Amino acid sequence: MSDEFLKAARLEIQTELEGLDQVLMSCNNDEHVFKNSRKIESHLHKIKGLAPMMGQDKIGEVAKMSDVILLYIMDNGILSGSYKIILESVEKMKQMFNDQDIADTDNFRDRVRNSFPEIVDW
C-alpha cells in the first residue's frame, strides 16, 4: 500500500469512527440502536471493508461482528443487549485505531457469541 492510500484510509476510518460517536450520542438503549441502526451500520460497513485493506485486521473484525448485529436488528427489530455491545465495539475500535488497545479480539468475539447465539455463527 502506498503511503498516500494509507493516509487517506486512516482519515476515512477516523471520520467513520467520529460519525459513529455522533450517532451513538443520541442512543441510550436498545430501542435507540434499533431506530438508528441504518446510520450505525453504514459507518460500520465502511470500517469493516477499509480497515483490513490498510492492515488493521482486528478493527475490521470488530466492525464485522458489530455489522452482523446491526443487520440482524435492521431485519428483525430491537435486540436486547445490543446497545451495550455496539457501544463497547466502537470504544474498542477507537482504542485499537489509536494504538491504545492491541489486545486480541477473541474475548470480545466470545462475549458477542454468548450474548447473541441466535445470530452469530463464528
pTM of the shown model: 0.90
Tell me the residue ranges of DSSP E strands in 54-95.
Answer: none
pLDDT score of 32: 98
Correct CATH for 3-115 of 2.60.40.10, 1.20.120.160, 3.90.400.10, 1.10.10.60: 1.20.120.160
Cα 8 to Cα 3, 74, 95, distances in angstroms = 9, 30, 19
Give CA–CA dist 79/34, Å, rounded: 8
Contact yes or no for 83/30 (Cβ under 8 A): yes
Contact yes or no for 47/59 (Cβ under 8 A): yes
pLDDT score of 102: 62
Q: What residue spans define the domains of the chain? A: 3-115
Mean pLDDT by 10 residues, the chain (122 residues): 86 96 97 98 96 91 95 97 96 89 78 90 68
